[in-house]
Amino acid sequence: MKPQQLIEIASQALENAHAPYSNYRVGAALLCADGTVFLGCNVENASFGLTNCAERTAVFSAVAAGQIQFTAIAIAASGEPAPFPCGACRQVLVEFCGPDFPVYVAQKDGFATTTLGELLPHSFDFRASND
């Protein structure tokens, strides 16, 4: 799947976001190795610590469905700033994806392409210490 297609799907996913506090809706589209796409959106809560980001919603939905091999993620938001994944989302992605995992982030004039390794160069990976 082309990055632009994944961005479009993420843009559709943000329509389901529950963001009454920030009014910053975010959608994510997680591409699995078998071509399945899982959607995520941010779900805010009055107790802000219980809010869940779109990226983690997509990952958790995929894992709950038995998927653990991912090939890319796209993220889109209803406004600025561009929706680069937060630290928690980056660390959750590290659990399943390597440093070359592509991350596409919607921006006003197209999208940015980066990798998980560029976003989180010194991630905590317990598995690496047990090799």
**DSSP β-bridge partners for residue 38:** 30
Residue 77 near residue 11, CB atoms below 8 Å: no
* Parallel/antiparallel/unpaired status of strands 70-77 and 26-32: antiparallel
> Which residue in the list 44, 55, 80, 118 is annotated as catalytic?
55
80 in catalytic set:
no
Known binding residue 53? Answer is: yes
Known binding residue 89? Answer is: yes
26-41 b/e with 16+ CB inside 10 Å = b? bbbbbbbeeeebbbbb
Known binding residue 97? Answer is: no
Binding residues for Zn(2+): 53, 86, 89
Residues labelled catalytic: 55
Binding residues: 53, 86, 89
